[in-house]
A = this chain, B = another copy of it.
Amino acid sequence: MDLQGILEDIVTHVAPLCRQGEVASYIPSLGVVSPDNFGICVATADGAIYGAGDWRKPFSIQSISKVFSLALVMSYDYDSIWKRVFREPSGTPFNSMIQLEADRGIPRNPFINAGALVVTDRLLTLTGDAAGAVRGLLRQEAGNPSIDVDAEVAASEADHGHRNAAMAHLLASYGNLENPVEDVLANYFAQCALELCCEDLAKAALFLARDGVSAGGSPFLQPSQSKRVNAVMLTCGTYDAAGEFAYRVGLPGKSGVGGGIVAVVPGRCVVTVWGPSLGPNGNSVAGMAALDEFTAKTGWSIF
């Protein structure tokens, strides 16, 4: 199969979709990114890299960082995190606060914001620097020591972060934070403001296609843990469109409001896409179409 050809075709085909939807603008730094950017990259389990379009331009990974903070916490602490967060799909966003109240402060899964705050809190306890730990993992796996937090984006998140602050205080009111609200928020905003390009991101997530084996060849996660991170991505990784994503794309995936999506073909490869303009569910319109075409053409689906 000519993967490089497939990626180049996809870039051509999705170009007209780049202006559908809207670029996230709740913080100014995100809103200025041009919707015409589009990149795609495939990193295979045996080390090959393919890319097309803007695949080497860095973007704000936002919620995609939640995959790495979860993996880090699991790497330290096999599965004790599941006492503090469930791993069930969340239903509509509308339900997030009511669910948190009904479940006495236990978030529905680690990929909604409430759950990610709990994971970051745990990572902060384990490492003393949660955002730093995520950055360190990304640098090491991508082999790129220049990966860093965009401080302006992080500050901007903090300035506009009343909703995350509300969630963190609600978690604290149920005793489900180990660190001060302010520290958890600062680490959370920083990890979300990490900047990577499609290539870095595909390399960094490759352990999920290799049963947990890191870039250096040593086990970062156990095989069962790696499968489980993929399972949580499939059921909970794309906000309220997890069912749609499984139906159309058929792969575990995690999206971010920066327009990036990472998808895993277990045993084979990681695919990353980036297109800043988002559909109603907060997922990249061009990115979703690209993954749809990619799985249709390669026949790679877990189903």
Point out residues on A near B: beta carbons under 8 Å. 86-92, 94-95, 97-99, 101-102, 108-109, 162-163, 165-170, 172-173, 181, 226-228, 230-232, 234-236, 240-244, 246-247, 250, 252, 266, 301-303
Please report whether the interface of chain A is mostly helix, strand, loop or mixed according to DSSP.
helix
Q: Is the pair B166, A87 in contact by a Cβ cutoff of 8 Å?
A: no
Closest Cβ of chain B: how far from A295's Cβ, in Å? 9
Q: How far is the CA of A211 from the CA of B57 in the complex (A)?
A: 39
Q: Is the pair A243, B98 in contact by a Cβ cutoff of 8 Å?
A: no
Cβ 8 A contact of A244, one of B88, B98, B173: B88
Show 30 A/B contacts (Cβ-Cβ < 8 Å), sorted by A.
A88-B91, A88-B242, A88-B244, A89-B235, A89-B243, A90-B91, A91-B91, A91-B92, A91-B108, A92-B99, A95-B98, A97-B101, A162-B172, A163-B170, A165-B169, A165-B181, A166-B167, A166-B168, A166-B170, A227-B301, A227-B303, A228-B303, A231-B243, A231-B246, A231-B250, A234-B234, A235-B243, A235-B246, A236-B243, A266-B302
